[in-house]
């Protein structure tokens, strides 16, 4: 059985609640979902998912080396933006650097587990993929 994980954009856009047996939950995705929970009941559902996926070893938790590689990827992406802008680093939209940091961490940890990431956030993950050989799949292709 092949496994996969999803980024937060897919869980929200597809309103995923029942996940198949071959799904591995990323702690990064859970962090984003918990932080953005609409109410206490939703927060408790995500906490319960955390406990369940932790218990059966299907929770992808970033390791120390994942943090290091994610930070290097962010550095390289920043250098690319600076180069494309002729040496001056353009400002990002508010929250963009935090989202990219979490996406890089998700990508690196998913690569370590050798699972593809299903995403609606294609452009950011394609940029990350230049420095991290992780497989990505568009949500629209995966959920046909």
Q: With contact defined as beta carbons under 8 Å apart, do 6 and 29 qualify?
A: yes
| List of domains in the chain | 5-142 (3.40.50.1010)
Q: With 90 as the cut, is the pLDDT of residue 138 above it?
A: yes
Q: What is the pLDDT of residues 121-132, one digit of tens each?
A: 999 999 999 999
> Strand, helix or coil at 121?
coil
**What whole-number percentage of the chain has pLDDT above 70?**
97
Rounded to whole angstroms, what are the CA distances from 35 to 14, 30, 66, 81? 18, 8, 21, 29
Residue 21: how many CB atoms within 10 A of its CB?
A: 8
Predicted structure pTM score: 0.91
């Amino acid at each position: 059985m092949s496994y996969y994980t999803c980024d937060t954009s897919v869980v929200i856009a597809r309103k995923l609640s029942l996940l198949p047996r071959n799904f591995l939950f990323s702690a990064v995705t859970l962090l984003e979902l918990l932080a953005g929970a609409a109410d206490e009941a939703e927060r408790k559902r995500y906490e319960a998912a955390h406990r369940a996926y932790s218990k059966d070893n299907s929770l992808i938790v970033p390791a120390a080396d994942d943090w290091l590689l994610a930070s290097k990827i962010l550095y390289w992406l920043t250098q690319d933006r600076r180069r494309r802008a002729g040496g001056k680093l353009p400002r990002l939209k508010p929250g963009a650097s935090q989202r990219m940091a979490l996406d890089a961490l998700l990508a690196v940890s998913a690569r370590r587990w050798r699972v593809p990431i299903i995403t609606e956030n294609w452009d950011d993950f394609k940029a990350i993929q230049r420095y991290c050989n992780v497989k990505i799949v568009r949500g629209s292709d995966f959920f046909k």
